[in-house]
Amino acid sequence: MDLNYTPEELAFADEVRQWVRANLPPETRERVLHHKRLGKEEQVEWQRRLHAHGWGAPRWPKEYGGPGWNSVQQHLFDEVLSEEGAPQALPFGLSMIGPVLMAFGSQKQKDYYLPRILRQDDWWCQGFSEPGSGSDLASLRMKAELDGDEWVLNGQKTWTTLGQYANMIFLLARTDPAAKKQQGISMLLADMSTPGITIRPIITIDGEHEVNEVFFDNVRVPKDHIVGAPGMGWSYAKFLLSHERTNIARIGRSKSELTRLKKIATEETVDGVPLIQTPGFREKIAAVEIELMALELTNLRMIAAERAGQAPGAEANMLKIKGSEIQQTLTELMMEAVGPYALPFNPEAREPGWHGEPIGPEYAAPLGPDYFNYRKVTIYGGSNEIQRNILAKAVLGL
């Protein structure tokens, strides 16, 4: 197993870096690196620039419009973009429903939706969780009943991330109430402008409107908007979630955040000594850096196995667990580094162009909201408790 990059791979990373520096708008880069809010337009524009260069879907095969990169190139691409302050790719189209449609969708669905995902013509959201059906997703109660040439949807979805921007949703609904709970579920696609769909915001603990609840009241969608076969939605959802859990590790982003933490710890002082030079805090930084290095090596081992033709095993679950915990630890250490300056709640300071007087250093304003927001990462995509149960069963045989 060779975990070292080849000269060709290092040259590829340099090519990506130079292109990003030449094409990423400076104001967008500054907003990302300083945790300012990004608008929908900026995210769409960046995706379209990547697509125009042929890099819009780094994990897609060439036949569907991707660059056809191997797993090492995909990893390096993600890492460079995180280092350079590029916006995170929206996962719902590129990493979730896109791969599902490639594997299980009809030819009509592939021909229509995949190019639109690449161009960011459609903004997708995910309709899986319901009140009372989160980690126990198979208990979902939303119904889809066939009426002639249409499915009639009734029910509720919750925690619908960025649903306020979305024009399309992929969702799970119960199409056979008499079947066992996993076998009676199907996956469907719906236009968010369809009559009967109502979106209500959920304001999270950090004060942001990031998630929503979505209600379906006799919503009619065409019969051919089902993905694959009826009753197979649970299998398709597991396929989708395996992609989501790997992405949740966000190794490149965590490496960028570690650099940010070190910079903050260099500027903050205790009795005139930079915090990064104090033994206690240096040990905390070293501990999370070691965890992050181990996570990256685990990811590289998975990449090396894929390069050798081996299918990945439980690594996706491991990456999700440790990756999410490291993200939370980084937010905690940044909060600790700035101390009381992280306490004031000043959401306006995250707006682009804000010129108010900061409370403490300017970089302190987003730290409290980030800390609260990142409490979610060990929950979504399958809570870490559930991931540990999966590992216990699949790896340890318990």
* Catalytic site positions: 244
Rounded CA gap, 208 and 37, in Å? 10
Query: How many other CB atoms are found less than 10 A from the CB of residue 209?
Result: 11
Residue 152's SS3 state is strand
> 112 and 102 in contact (C-beta within 8 Å)?
no
Q: How far is CA 27 from CA 37, 82, 352, 397, in A?
A: 11, 15, 9, 51
Residue 229's SS3 state is coil
Rounded CA gap, 38 and 392, in Å? 39
Annotate 65-103 with three-state secondary structure: CCCCCCHHHHHHHHHHHHHCCCCCCCHHHHHHHHHHHHH
* Token pair in block for residue 148: 């002639």
Nearest to 254 by CA among 215, 220, 299, 305: 299
* Token pair in block for residue 394: 């699949």
> 221 and 151 in contact (C-beta within 8 Å)?
yes
Residue 110's SS3 state is helix
Which residue type is seen at 103?
A
Which residue type is seen at 376?
K
Query: How many other CB atoms are found less than 10 A from the CB of residue 223?
Result: 12
Q: What is the DSSP letter of 312?
A: P
Query: How many other CB atoms are found less than 10 A from the CB of residue 180?
Result: 11
